[in-house]
Every structure is written in structure tokens, then in C-alpha cells.
Amino acid sequence: MITDTAPQSSPAPDDDFLGGDTGKLGDRVFHGLSLGAAALILATLAAVATFLFKEGLPTFTGDKSELDNTESFVSYVGPLVFGTIYISALALLIATPIAIAVALYISHYSPKKLSHTLGYFIDILAAIPSVVYGIWGIGVLAPILSRSLYPWLDDHAGFLPFFGSDVNVSTSGRTMLTVAIVLAVMILPIITAISREVFLQTPRLHEEASLALGATRWEVIRQAVLPYGRSGVISGAMLGLGRALGETMAVAIILSPADGYFWNVITNSNSNTIAANIALQFPESSGLEVNRLIATGLVLFIITFGVNAIARKIANAGFSGADG
Amino acid sequence: MNRSARLITPHLINPHQSTQTPTIQNGEAHMTDSLRDTATPTAQSAAVDLNAPVDLPNRIDVTDLNIFYGDFQAVEGVSMTINPRSITALIGPSGCGKSTFLRSLNRMHEVIHGAYVQGSVVINGHDLYGPGVDPVAVRRKIGMVFQRPNPFPTMSIADNVLAGKRLNSRRMSKPDAAELVEKSLRGANLWNEVKDRLDKPGSSLSGGQQQRLCIARAIAVSPDVLLMDEPCSALDPISTLAIEELMLDLKRSYNIVIVTHNMQQAARVSDRTGFFNIKGTGKPGKLIEMDATEKIFSNPGEQETQDYITGRFG
């Protein structure tokens, strides 16, 4: 008997060997879904922008007699833009140093267990609804500040235009400074979270370089950690600023607004913000007044858009030079 | 006298690097000539016993050093004398504790949580682990160069060199700073390559230049000892050669300790070599033997060392 050692029969060419469509369907479906999600975002953005433009436009073309005051749009929105940027900048000025300090404590000083707990509580700050912040601001913070901090500032720092003593200090505490402090608390979590992440990402090599030169812990932070994290902190601050610019409820509840440009942050005369102004005026508006409010919304949209664009630019520019 | 003779030791010659060997021999011959003028005891003649403790400043005496990370003992019972104005190489397989030991010489291993040591490391009469000794002060006296070049990416070349000095004395006049930058960069053989772009970021340099920048940064604070943790392992052969020549230059002023995986490098540059080994994973690393480099690579006292340097390890 002869044993055939050759293959029994040459196998039929396997169509799936290289050209099969295994998994292709899943690929296509997922591609379609993710493309759809991305397109949805763009579509929403475009829809909002179109709405703002379309509804805001009559402000400039419509019959001015429908308005209760016939001032130009620029003189109407000017104080609001000023108030929005002024209060938000103030909030940012208060929040950023605290956020950096907290982030550094979590990333470089605290024991591991404590840093987790602390990070958790800071994230909870971000989950508190802004209306709760508003109520807390007017019910708790404003009275305390108007009794303690504001008279002190008026007495001791009155030479500064921000606390000038030619006008009376607010007794209710419903001032721009109170709002700025509340906004600072609200934007603290996001700035802290982003700063903490970039500080933790500081390459060990850079920290060791610094340590080996005989740097103390603070010097390591100054020499290696902060320069590395600078762009991250700035973009975190910009995101916080974006949130502060658009905050409505807390401002509307706390602030006692007036029409005009006011530098003094502790009086009863306060520039309002765009968002709070819309919230307060909308229920009582009709006709062209509504269009005017929407036009101010468009201005806020552009400001926020600009802030985000700047944040993105800084974040991208910063990391390219700092490779691990 | 001619130390390059030991390069001919057969097992040390790697065919891949044979083209480089003559250059190094020239470099060494040149270095040996220049060393003759400086009357360095260790280099004066082969008759001098390299193992004898030299009575000069900056000698390091390590006595029965045990290094722990929490419950894990990384290094056990190391005693050695590291002579100044010489290069001491530490070789051994990965994980044998040689890097940990090197780091314990300027307390850098303490950056890992739970690290501590038993035993003593004495330099100029001071125990680095004595009570009240500040690790920050130790590191200002004992500089370190790392495996991967790590210039500060956001600082200019000049600022990188001055980084350590700025920690010590905040204010430095401009001419003083410029002088220190030039002196340190010249000391690191980098001046001619970067003198026209001192204000450019340190990360714009090549890997080898970055490593020399790190050496310039380390010597700018005039340390007593220079520790190098595999300083050439991330560099190409040409840059490696430049660093090796620099080390031979620097040993006239500094006590240099280098950890290396490259046995040819240890053979080329060092005066004495210590071999570390480990019995198995989780066991502490030990110093198996330490001797004149020539002896370690030609006729080591221990079979383990012989196995390792001839590649019969593991």
C-alpha cells in the first residue's frame, strides 16, 4: 500500500483570507455615528448663531419707538459688556491663585489619601446648581461682607478707585465684589481640576533635575512644575472665565444693578452683566425690546467664543515646546 | 602606564564599534599625557595602588550601607571607598541596585516614598545620613547627571546653566552670570557649539548637546562630587565619545561616579570598577567585588564577575 504524503487536495482559495469584510460593517456604523454626533454639534452651534443674528438684527433696522428708551444699541450694551467682563475678570483674579495653590497642594504636598478626598470635594463644588450659589450669596455671603469686609475696605483702601469713599458703601452687600467672589467659588473647580492634571503630568525628569541641583520642594515647583504647567493653568483659567462670563442665575439673584459704568465694586451702583440683564428683562419685554436683548446675547456669544479661541490657542502653543 | 592596552582584551572588543576604538585610544593617550602634568596621584603611574584610599578632600567612604524602599531591601551591605579625582564605574545587570546605590550618594533615592537607609556615607568628615543633615544641602554638594538629558524645556541655554546657581544666590550680576555660563559651558565642551545661541531654549539642542548642557548645569554650582546615572545610554556613539572625553577631563577636578550598562565604557573611562549583582527577583543587590578597572576586566577575583563581563551571565 502506498501512502500518499502529498496534500489530499489543494484547498479552495479562501476569499476571506485577505479581502474579507470582517468587522467592516461595525466600522462603518461607528464611523457614521461619530460623524453624526460631530455634525450635530456644529449644526446646533450654527442654529444658535443663526437665531441670534436673525432675531437680533431688527434692533438696528426696526422702529425705535417701540423701545422705552431710545438710546443707541452701543450705549445700551456698553455698560453690560463692561459689567460682564469686569466682574468675570475680578472672579478670575480671585479664583486663579487659590486654584493654583489648591492644585499644587493636591499634586505635590498632600498625602495621597487626603488628596483624593480633597479632589472629590472640589469636584462637588462644580455640581452645586448656580441658583443655590445665588441664594447662598444673597442670604449668607452678602450680609457678612457688608458688615465686615466692605467697611474695612472703604476705610483702608478708599484711595483706590475700586473701593473709593465718595459713594456710600452698600449695606445690603449686593455688589459686584460679592458677585465676583461667588463666581470665583463657582469657577474654582474647573481651574483646580485642569491645573492639578498638568501639575501631575510634570515629567519626573524635570523635577529630578531640579532636586539634583539642590532645590527645595518650593523651588522644584517654581523651577520645573509651574513653567511646565503654565499653559495648562492659563487654558483652565480661560475655561473658568468662559463660565463666569455666561453665569446668569447667581448674578441675577445677588447683584443690585444700575445703568452705567462703575469701577467701585462695593456700592449699590453696579454695572449689570449681559446674561443677568437678559434674565431679568426678558419677562417684561415685548417687540423690539426682545430683539435688543437677543442682540446683547449675540455680543455675549462673540465674547465667549473669543475667550475659548484664545484658551485653545494658548493651550496648543504651550505644550509643543515642552516634551517629556 | 598605557591604559589603552586593556582595550585589546579580546572579550571587550565589540565588532560593531571597532571603527570607534582607535579614536578612543587617541583620546585616552592625549588625556593621559595631559594628566601627567597635573600631578594627580591616581594617574601618575601604574605602580600606584588604585585601591588604596587617597588622602584628599571629597573622598567618599561608604560603610555597610543598606537601602530600603518600605519593606523591600534594594541594596545590602555595601562598603566601598570612592577616591577623589578619579572615575569610579558601577556595573551590573538591570535591577541589581547600582542606580539605587548611586542615588543614595546624594540622597536622590529619597524622592521615592518610604525610602530609607542604614549605614553611613561619609564625605569630608560628614555623614550624609547623620542627624540634622538636610538632603537639599547634600545635593548642592553632590551633583547628578541623569540617564536621559533633562534640560528645563522652558529655559534658555544660559538659564539652564544658571539654574542651580540661582537657587543658591538669588542675585548675580550680569557679567558674573555671563562668566559662569561661559566657564561651565567650556567645562562641558559645549561652548563653541552654543555660544551664538545662548538665549535659545535648551530643548533645541541635539541629545548629546543636551546631555553636555546638563553636565554644564551640574558643574556650574561647583559640586564636590559628580554622579552620573548611565549618562550615555540615550546617546549615539559620537555623542557618547564626546561625553567620555569630557569625563576624563572632569576627573581632574571632580570625584566622578558613573553607573553604566556599557562595559566597554566602564573599561575605557574608569579607574576603578565595582560589580553589583542580585541573587534573584525581590532579593537585595550586593557589591560583589570592587577593584582596579584593569583587574576587573582581565582577572576578576570572583567567578560571578568573570561570568558577567564575558557575557556568560544569566
Q: What is the mean pLDDT of chain B?
A: 81
Which residues on B lie below 8 Å from A215 (Cβ)?
A: 136, 139, 167
Assigned domain for A32 exists: no
Q: How far apart are CA A42 and CA A47, in angstroms?
A: 8
Q: Report the predicted TM-score, pTM, of the whole model to 2 decimal places.
A: 0.77
pLDDT band at B31 (very low <50, low <70, confident <90, very high): very low
Rounded distance, CA A305 to CA A322, Å?
A: 27
Cβ-Cβ contacts under 8 Å, B164 against chain A = 213-214
- Residue A64 belongs to a domain: no
Q: Say if strands B87-91 and B142-145 run parallel, antiparallel, or are unpaired.
A: unpaired
Q: CB atoms < 10 A from the CB of B55, how many?
A: 9
| Contact call for A321 and B153, based on CB within 8 A | yes
Residues of A in contact with B106 (CB under 8 A): 212
Q: Which grid cell sits at B179? A: 562668566
Residue of B nearest to A231 (CA): B154
- Residue A154: name the closest of A267, A256, A254, A257 by CA: A267
Is A81 inside a domain boundary? Answer: yes
- Name residue A202's amino acid: T
Q: What distance in Å separates residue B195's CA from the closest CA in chain A?
A: 22
- For residue A95, being part of any structural domain is answered with yes
Determine the Cα angle at B79 with ends B73 and B82, to 5°. Answer: 120
Q: Distance between CA atoms of B82 and B94, rounded to whole angstroms?
A: 22
Q: Distances in Å between the alpha carbon of A105 and those of A181, A202, A214?
A: 22, 14, 21
CATH (domain of A171): 1.10.3720.10
Which regions in chain A score pLDDT beneath 50?
1, 319-324
* B155 close contact with A: CB closer than 8 A: yes
- B227 has a pLDDT exceeding 90: yes
Report the number of distinct structural domains present in chain A: 1
The owner of cell 462644580 is A126
Judged on CB neighbours under 10 Å (0-12, 13-18, 19+), A132 is: exposed
Does pLDDT of B36 surpass 60? no
Q: Is B107 on the interface with A (CB under 8 A)?
A: no
A13 and chain B in contact, CB less than 8 A: no
Q: Which of residues 222-281 of A touch B (CB under 8 A)?
A: 223-224, 227-228, 230
DSSP result, B246-308:
HHHHHTTTSEEEEE-S-HHHHHHH-SEEEEEEESSTTSPEEEEEEEEHHHHHHS-SSHHHHHH
pLDDT level of residue B25 (50, 70, 90 thresholds): very low
Q: Which residues constitute the domain of residue A226?
A: 74-316
pLDDT value of residue B8:
37
Give B168's contacts in chain A (Cβ within 8 Å): 214
Q: What pLDDT is stored for residue A298 in this prediction?
A: 92
User: Is A57 among the domain residues?
Assistant: no
Name the residue facing A208 among B111, B143, B154 (closest C-beta): B111
| Structural domain includes residue A48 | no
ipTM, two decimals: 0.77
A211 to chain B, closest Cα gap in Å = 7
Mean pLDDT value of segment B176-188: 88
Q: Which residues contact B26 (CB under 8 A, 6 or more apart)?
A: none
pLDDT given for residue A21 in this prediction: 61
Alpha-helical (H) ranges within B55-97 are none
> Does residue B89 have a pLDDT over 80?
yes
Pairing of strands B225-229, B72-82: unpaired
Residues 184-203, chain A, touching B (beta carbon < 8 A): 203
Residue B46 has pLDDT above 50, yes or no: no
Question: What distance lies between CA A50 and its chain's CA centroid?
Answer: 23
Indicate the length of chain B as a whole number: 314
Asked, for residue A191, whether it belongs to a domain, the answer is yes
Backbone angles phi and psi of A81, in degrees to 5:
-60, -45
Tell the burial category of A298 from Cβ atoms under 10 Å away from its Cβ (0-12, 13-18, 19+). Answer: buried
DSSP secondary structure letter of residue B195: T
Would you place residue B226 in the very low, low, confident or very high pLDDT band (cuts 50, 70, 90)? very high
Q: Is pLDDT of B155 > 70?
A: yes
Answer whether residue A304 is part of any domain: yes
pLDDT at B26 over 60: no
B161–chain A Cβ distance below 8 A for any pair? no
Is the distance from CB of B228 to CB of B258 less than 8 angstroms?
A: yes
